Amino acid sequence: MSRVHPVYDAMAPTIFEHMSGLAMAHGAINLGQGFPDEPPSPDMVEAAARALRDKSNQYPPAFGLAELRDAIGRFYARRQGLSILREQVIVTSGATEALAASLLALVRPGDEVILFQPAYDSYAPMIRRAGGIPVSVGLQPPHWRYEADALERAITPRTRLLMLNDPLNPVGKVASDAERALIADACRRHDLIAICDEVWEDVRFDGAPHRSLWTQPGMEARVVKIGSAGKIFGLTGWKTGWLCAAPELARTIGRAHQFLTFTTPPALQWAVAEGLDRPDSWFAPQRAAWESARERLAHGLSGAGFVVLLSEATWFLCIDLAASGIALDDRTFSERAVREAGVASIPVSALFEGKGPQHILRLCFAKDHATLDEAVARLARFRDALAADVGA
């Protein structure tokens, strides 16, 4: 008899682990998993090193250092016009832990949780592990619009929560004012809590500011807003995140958090607090570099005959294989490209529960221009080889 939990025993590796493993095995350029290649900010590294030398290395408070919780409030006041107090902030070991704590605290057995898909692949397993039932609302390319009718059909008397990833990984979609309004309206009418994964809130391009569901009328008490220092600073390995919620909600989720990771390394918390208090001008060059990389990859892929979809945020853009004249589905293209072309990517269909679009491929552009150029050249040669095979 197996002594392990059947849910985890039956799980396959995530698509990110799978494709990164293939990239390593084949010496491929990894445009699959989302992490920047540039060196970390010396300011941030020095802040963490200084904290290791000069401050405590023992357990910090379970809900996070006061310095960081206050800095998060100041950051959101400055960047998004929000008023968030210390008691509304819980520091977590990454945004994924914030998601897990939120679901464990708020989902009761049999509760239904609305997911917009494509979705980050941890959402549905975490909902099930908390005893809930994920209910999918599929978004469709190329615009990935949130539709009121589709959302309304998915809501039942058992629906308790809604999960919104805005901006949306994997496709770089940003919800419009009208779309946020219709989601907020559904939450108010059906008495739903919205877990808002907003880790890409500060990786926005084209001069557009972030607007949280928190700002919609009547939503401040219904939203759990999740953020990530890893995305804001391009330091994914630091695994320092947080959640913000009304005080009662925050306390409840904080109790779940204390029995997951309990707390987060204090030196990283002090460094993130220092970083969040830096002026907007300090963040601008990093964001400009990512925007430039987005344009570089989009221009290169378009020039090579790929149809590139709009990406307003995140480190990712997508190509439409079918519109590009490629008959392969995204999984097949992705598997062959890493082996035959030496470029790793993510098939977006892997981020759907059940059947979703089979022709969209995600690529990470948070790399230097030379790496992106070489990846484009390899994909262009691979595309030509595919065309030659068809014509042979």
> pLDDT, tens digit, for every residue of 287-299?
999 999 999 999 9
Strand pairing report for 360-364 and 316-320: antiparallel
> pLDDT, tens digit, for every residue of 211-247?
999 999 999 999 999 999 999 999 999 999 999 999 9
Q: Are 350 and 318 in contact (CB under 8 A)?
A: no
Q: pTM for the whole thing?
A: 0.94
Residue 78 has pLDDT above 80, yes or no: yes
Q: pLDDT category, 11, cuts 50, 70, 90?
A: low
pLDDT, residue 112, reads 98
- Average model confidence (pLDDT) across the chain: 95
Q: Are 234 and 245 in contact (CB under 8 A)?
A: no
Token duo for residue 349: 């269909």
Give the residue from 162, 217, 163, 225 showing the smallest Cα distance to 190: 162
Token duo for residue 308: 């590139």
pLDDT, residue 388, reads 83
Side chain identity at residue 70, one-letter code: D
Give the residue from 64, 44, 106, 76 showing the smallest Cα distance to 274: 44
SS3 173: strand
User: Rounded to an integer, what distance in angstroms lies between the CA atom of residue 185 and that of residue 182?
Assistant: 5
Token duo for residue 273: 């607090």
pLDDT, residue 390, reads 66
Q: What are phi and psi of 168, to 5 degrees?
A: -95, 115
* Domain boundary assignment for the chain: 6-38+281-391, 42-278
Q: What are phi and psi of 300, to 5 degrees?
A: -65, -45
CATH 1.10.3470.10 fits 6-38+281-391, yes or no: no
For residue 257, give the H/E element and its range.
helix 247-258
- The whole-number average pLDDT for the span 323-333 is 97
Q: pLDDT category, 14, cuts 50, 70, 90?
A: confident
> pLDDT, tens digit, for every residue of 93-143?
999 999 999 999 999 999 999 999 999 999 999 999 999 999 999 999 999
User: Rounded to an integer, what distance in angstroms lies between the CA atom of residue 345 and that of residue 300?
Assistant: 16
For residue 337, give the H/E element and its range.
none
Q: Which fold has domain 42-278?
A: Aspartate Aminotransferase; domain 2 (3.40.640)
Strand pairing report for 193-197 and 360-364: unpaired
Side chain identity at residue 204, one-letter code: R
Give the residue from 235, 234, 229 showing the smallest Cα distance to 243: 229
> pLDDT, tens digit, for every residue of 143-196?
999 999 999 999 999 999 999 999 999 999 999 999 999 999 999 999 999 999
